[in-house]
A and B are shown apart, each in its own frame.
Chain A
């Protein structure tokens, strides 16, 4: 059981656009179930499923919905995070393209469960080509009363619209997203108060990932037990992963938690291209950790990855072969972050400036002991003192690379001296 179809059940069962076809394929039964059984039953189901947010932070979704429900305000928002800014991640795009109605259904459910009446789908700017299709799907749902006043004759109202993202990675972060929707430049705010308390327009806002929403629908439809049939005790269910890099069949796959990295690469993605040897993978996006080939038997679960210093993150897996230099790879990662940092806080703004200098010298072979010492300091400050998750998690690839390839982060002399001691 390598690839499964729990969340992606309806992929290719209909064209992904036609509301009637979605209904015929069993669409909106989760919403109807919610209207029949009430929010509490549905929240209990989500709790029982053990679903954790798929946007990267892995916060228990049931708990998150309950917290959102507890916020008291006349206006509250649900925002579907479809910013999908992590490099190597393109699974939300598939969900929007091949089954947009399930995302909308998830939004209506999240809205009703949290007593919010307004929803926004924040779609990555680069996905412009899909904006019209999403808008027309929303219009269809309005027409048939899946959205709007008194959803399906119930007392609940729910409005939904699309917001086109501002094209920066940091806008995927909750506060930056709110700022961006308010027409400001997407720069994170300090917490607390949290987004759930004072988000968009300083009103309670639930920011939830596209995949999380789609998964909720499937869980309600089929029950928490059928979700838990997949995965491990601590990582129940299935996950969409995006594989790219030096593999034969890059793409999006739904997998049960617990496969090993090697199985994913060999059995799903068709192995390394041109029969080359694997070198390392980066898991979870640009802010994800580096795992060397010798550890590819690690299982893809929250708990096993954590032990190795990594996390599931966005679900991206980028595969590098023997031809890829890790240092060159990290330089590209650094370039990405330096380009994307919003520049608000010192650790990330100035840290990225220094990383640029240091990586320039590390990759051209002129780095000195002082550069490696400064690298330590910069990573320490960024990881611990940055204002938002972007700066904080940027250090992960470098830290894990240091852990598994320590010889690359010291001068030849230091390395020789260390080896002599051993």
Chain B
């Protein structure tokens, strides 16, 4: 009896395992593709945000010499000699610029210091310390040497700290970055603010559309839904360009307003926050409407009737029945819009002014214009963390909502 039961349990377990193994096998190709094509590149990019290889590669001797410097006072004469040796070699190999650029991220002017010093290096046998101090008094400052030591790799928190407007001082403590470099918190707040505004606009504009679609017979709803999806058929760039045409000084809107006599001079609309928010909301609207429509459609129409028969006027039916039941759609739509908005680049770049650029613009700036991969990677990480945090909040809310509705 007990044996038979145990046998049955074993068979059930084995059948379950087989089924699961088959499922794993089926998703394996996609999983592999995602891993190679998606997760790996992201991981590689993010890794660049903490790698620090330029200085140890180009200036190996001084890196080693500074490893056991106590950070108090100046390093010993051997460090000066090592630096002179390294710079001579790097200059000959043409790699000095790599290290100079990296150090310049930390201290403005380091690049100039490096190249000026490289031209006045001591000859063999000369006193390296005296020669360097003569070349530039900066070599007599602790901060200069601390910067070289901080860049000694192999990993650094320099970029990550910089992405949230922090840095390490010469003693290695984390402190606020100087004001002229501290822009990223502002950028992050701006990015979140624009995304939030776009999301709210999409919600306010999209909800009535979704509600209308959900109330129509299936056939008519399908036709109207095609109109909602129409924008998907044109590229993002084209849609953004269309907004340029509409909003520029000599654009359609200004011309029309002037023609109607509503304004006397063209209104500045392009290169403003207004243009960015408007165009982004327009482009992202379908992502709000679709989940809202799906959720609203699934609400039995009988519920509204029941509420009305029980004495609830239409606004009350909405507040007490329709809205709470549509919350999962509101959350899903808002999340989709918000997360996409966080990463927007082209639209703010083309329609916004200098103070309307979002975090992606800075990532692109560091990646393509200054080739500062470390900074680009750190800002990407910041964006990723913000997105992931939002998603976690959503998952929690959605989980609770499901429990509530069930």
Is the A/B pair a real complex? no
By a beta-carbon cutoff of 8 Å, the part of chain A in contact with chain B is none
